[in-house]
Structure 1
Amino acid sequence: MIPEWLRMPTLEEWQNKALNPDFLDSRNVGLIDAVNAGWYQNDSDELFRGFPIRAEDIVVDVGCGAGGATLFCARRGAHVIYCDVNEQNIERISRQVGETPARASQGVVTDCMPLPLASNYATRVVSMEMLEHVDDPAAVLRELARIGRPGALYLISVPDAVTERMQIPFAPPEYFQKPNHIHIFERDELAELVSDAGLEVVERSSYGFFWNLWLCMYWVCKKAVEGTPEAVSHDAAQPPYFPLLDDWTALWGRLISLPEAASMCRALDAALPRSQIIIARKPLE
């Protein structure tokens, strides 16, 4: 018999629980955690610290997924081009972008090989949590380098190798098979791939301790309840959540509300991050 503290609630049960004003939603806490780490800086219009977005920018978001980066840039009035293999993602984001002040927009369904965009076109290129899914990351990076103008900035993130390897003993094997994560990038390896594509690495960082532990707990809870958890994890961030994950979220959300926790968060994001991040630049010709 599954104990109550492990039983997955129905969506209606979870929504009723979330009506409590003291309840902390994983998505909201995750966003606050990301902002604290440098993402989505509304005051300075930086998608990530050191990666500013201006209305005059042409931003290409490759592997746009749910579209968070695209929409941040669109709300700054930029020209946004968002690319994904999933046509439904493109259709949904197109509707959302239409409600922003983006000066121009285009959705592209593509596997990036090649990208159907002109060379020397973009001033900002974004690739978040995408390269681990593709057959030839070096070739995709060359395509990303090709479409950027001289001086263009690049924001590239992939799952961190330390935490990917940590999950191997308890995540389902399919999580590390197509169409999921088929590459694990060591930090220096990713930087070398970016340099080999013809880009200059400007800054390297990492973040996501909260989501790293959240996903680890998710795999364990799923296995405890169902025996074999499903392999695709990106839907796991949608409610309802296991009670234990709500407990972890509440603990972390209250902890990071303390100013004194900031240095601890930075240390944990460096030691056990969910993602590694590179800001790079295309050299001036």
Structure 2
Amino acid sequence: MLTVDFDLLGVRAGQRVLDLGAGAGRHSFEYLRRGANVIAFDQDTEALAEVETMFGAMAAAGEVPEGASATTVSGDALGLPFPDDHFDQVIASEIMEHIPEDEKAMRELVRVVKPGGRVVVTVPRQWPERICWALSDEYHQVEGGHVRIYRREQLIGRLREAGLREVHHHHAHALHAPYWWLKCAVGVDNTDHPLPKLYHKLLVWDLMSKPWLTRTAEAALNPVLGKSLAVYLYKPEVVGA
């Protein structure tokens, strides 16, 4: 389940890319399939071990184009262990809402991307996220949970102050918003309730089968109901441009 539109991002084979806050690696895997040299970066070493295993499985299955590479690095988003102007592209998907010092993380992100390089930042969309917070304290008041709800203008403003310029934005995952409302309503740790279990089966079926009906419905609903906001930006060639 990709939040980022890789066709909009314009990924090219051989590019050096960073998946910041890679988690389970979904965007890293897509970068690798497209021939990039990707680093999956996260604090969670257990998750990164599984990502590393998947990288190996992809190579064994012949899914990795010649010349592409992938590795994992563990560390802190507030102090990235990479030189200035190092990456052609950086993705930071669903991570900024977890970081108390988000503006510092944004400055680090800008530091490591090349002038002219592309950046995508995705966060939970404001109004679907507010419903989740209203329905459940468990949803966000946990260690490592969401520490803020972004307004679109606020997020773009902070990224601009960090040195980036917006190109485009869109919303994604409309079908996932009702699932999380259901989870929050019945208890996010309640794994036995039939309603979210049934809805989850629908989401898995949609992910695996990609039927025309649900794909068309989600595309139509994303501008209104999309749970995630994705912002596409670039780092100017000239500082302050």
TM-score category by the smaller chain?
A: 0.7 to 0.9
Unaligned runs of 5+ in 1: 1-30, 40-46, 224-228, 231-235
Normalised by the length of structure 2, the TM-score is: 0.84
Normalised by the length of structure 1, the TM-score is: 0.72
What's the offset of the Cα at 1:77? Answer: 2.1
User: Is the 2:43–2:75 Cα contact (8 Å) retained in structure 1?
Assistant: yes
User: Is the 2:86–2:112 Cα contact (8 Å) retained in structure 1?
Assistant: yes
**Match of 1:258, as an amino acid?**
L
Give me the identity figure in percent: 24
Alignment partner, residue 86 of structure 2 = 121
Matched, 1:88 2:69: no
Unaligned runs of 5+ in 2: none
User: Is the 2:135–2:185 Cα contact (8 Å) retained in structure 1?
Assistant: yes
User: Is the 1:161–1:187 Cα contact (8 Å) retained in structure 2?
Assistant: yes
Secondary structure of the residue aligned to 2:154 is helix
**Match of 1:282, as an amino acid?**
K
Alignment partner, residue 234 of structure 2 = 281
Secondary structure of the residue aligned to 1:118 is coil
Choose from 121, 138, 141 the match for 1:156: 121
Take 2:74 and 2:102, find their aligned partners in 1: how far apart are those partners? 18
Q: Deviations 1:93-115 (Å, cap 9, x if unpaired)?
A: 11222333263333111121210
Matched, 1:268 2:213: no
Take 1:241 and 1:55, find their aligned partners in 2: how far apart are those partners? 44
Take 2:137 and 2:6, find their aligned partners in 1: how far apart are those partners? 31
User: Is the 1:133–1:178 Cα contact (8 Å) retained in structure 2?
Assistant: no
What's the offset of the Cα at 1:164? Answer: 1.2
Structure 1 window deviating more from structure 2 (150-159 vs 99-108): it is: 99-108
Q: Deviations 1:171-224 (Å, cap 9, x if unpaired)?
A: 234624541000111010011011111011000111122111111112223x3x
Alignment partner, residue 140 of structure 2 = 175
Choose from 9, 16, 33 the match for 1:75: 33
**Match of 1:95, as an amino acid?**
T
| C-alpha RMSD of the superposition | 2.6
**How many residue pairs get matched?**
227
Take 2:124 and 2:7, find their aligned partners in 1: how far apart are those partners? 19
Take 1:241 and 1:174, find their aligned partners in 2: how far apart are those partners? 17
**Match of 2:136, as an amino acid?**
A
Q: Deviations 1:40-60 (Å, cap 9, x if unpaired)?
A: xxxxxxx43411222211110
In our comparison, the structure showing a higher alpha carbon Rg is 1
Q: For 1:1-285, list aligned pairs within 5 A.
A: 31=1, 39=4, 47-98=5-56, 99-100=58-59, 101=64, 103-173=68-138, 175-221=140-186, 223=187, 229-230=188-189, 242-248=193-199, 250=202, 253=206, 257-258=212-213, 262=216, 265-285=218-238
Structure 1 window deviating more from structure 2 (87-96 vs 97-106): it is: 97-106
- Which stretches of structure 1, 4 residues or longer, exceed 6 Å deviation after superposition? none
Take 1:214 and 1:130, find their aligned partners in 2: how far apart are those partners? 20
